[in-house]
Chains A and B, each alone.
Chain A
Amino acid sequence: MIIKKVEIVWIILIFFTIFAYLLGKLELINTLLVGVLLFTTFIKGQLVIDYFMGLKNVSYKYRLIPTLWLVLVLSLVAVAYY
């Protein structure tokens, strides 16, 4: 069975969501893992931007706006946390 790209994206999104939930539920969250969590959040956001919103193969000026937003917001959250 051929697993299509969008199915793989969905699986990755679900996997990282379960990872985030377990960090919170099992109270495993610490300073190092917050960094990991923010990084996985970036990957999730970028996957949604590229493959769900369909910006992967669109002119960079349109693709970069949500990507820069994601980087800026998550970086500022990291600055506030650390």
Chain B
Amino acid sequence: MQSNQVSREPYPPGDFAIWIVIYVELVTFGLLFVGYAFSRKADILTFNNSQLALNKTSGFIDTLILITSSYFIVKAVHAIKSSNLSLQEANHIASKWLLAAIAFGGMFLVNKFLEFSAIFGQGITLSTNKFFMFYLLLTMFHFMHVTLGTVILFNIFKKTKKDGYSKEDHRGLETGAVYWHLVDLLWIVLFPLVYIIR
């Protein structure tokens, strides 16, 4: 009898330890997201007025950058996993995608730095009010994750330059990739929550 069921992989891609990290990060950011939403409910006027100081275009560009860099990472993993190319060719293609993702990670960091400079230039700090406390906590915490993610991607990139990944052995690449996608996933929730919803 023919089965229509999709055969499922028993474990997620990458090192299992990274998934523990991912679940912890999801809980941490989730609590901050929900904390933001209920704090807003308690003081809608302050949150709506303070939100006007944010640069929505900057947040929008950040989102485009992260989504696109995540796409580049998928292409890098795909080059190593699925191609019928030689080891050298597969690593060469992957390294190009990774370099593009690292460049986009750098662009995100520069854009965020400019955004923070503008905010601090207005005399806004963590203690200005609850909106800015959450905004700075969430975005700076996320900024740290992008910084770490970019460093991880750079190390993976260096390994591809030594033809270090193969179709059979690419767990390190997948581990870094899922961490980067986590950073993307978190921003996908953060952007509408903090910059758009009012």
Task: Decide: A74 and B181 in contact? CB cutoff 8 A.
Answer: no
Task: Decide: B75 and A6 in contact? CB cutoff 8 A.
Answer: yes
Give min CB distance, A82 to chain B, whole Å: 10
Interface centre among B33, B37, B41 (most CB of A within 10 A): B37
Give min CB distance, A31 to chain B, whole Å: 10
Task: Decide: B189 and A73 in contact? CB cutoff 8 A.
Answer: yes
Residues of B within 8 A of A21 (CB): 56-57, 59-60, 63, 196
**What residue of chain B has the Cβ atom nearest to residue A70's Cβ?**
B189
Task: Decide: B9 and A57 in contact? CB cutoff 8 A.
Answer: yes
The yes or no answer to B193 lying at the interface (CB within 8 A) is yes
**What residue of chain A has the Cβ atom nearest to residue B13's Cβ?**
A54
Determine the interface band of chain B, counting residues with CB < 8 A from chain A: 35 or more
Residues of B within 8 A of A65 (CB): 23, 26
* B19-57 Cβ-contact flags toward A at 8 Å (1 or 0): 100110011001001100110110000000000000011
In the complex, A21→B174 CA distance in Å? 31
Task: Decide: B67 and A58 in contact? CB cutoff 8 A.
Answer: no
Residues of A within 8 A of B23 (CB): 65
Give min CB distance, A21 to chain B, whole Å: 4
Interface centre among A6, A10, A17, A81 (most CB of B within 10 A): A17
Task: Decide: A81 and B37 in contact? CB cutoff 8 A.
Answer: yes
Task: Decide: B196 and A14 in contact? CB cutoff 8 A.
Answer: no
Residues of B within 8 A of A29 (CB): 196-198
The yes or no answer to A3 lying at the interface (CB within 8 A) is no
Residues of A within 8 A of B8 (CB): 57-60
What are 15 A-B pairs at a CB distance below 8 A? A9-B71, A10-B71, A14-B68, A17-B191, A24-B196, A25-B60, A37-B197, A45-B185, A48-B184, A52-B70, A55-B12, A57-B7, A60-B8, A66-B26, A77-B34
Enumerate chain B interface residues (CB-CB to A < 8 A). 6-13, 19, 22-23, 26-27, 30, 33-34, 37-38, 40-41, 56-57, 59-60, 63-64, 67-68, 70-71, 73-75, 77-78, 174, 178, 181-182, 184-185, 188-189, 191-193, 195-198
Enumerate chain A interface residues (CB-CB to B < 8 A). 6, 9-10, 13-14, 17-18, 20-21, 23-25, 29, 34, 37-38, 41, 44-45, 48-49, 51-55, 57-60, 62, 65-66, 69-70, 72-74, 76-77, 80-81
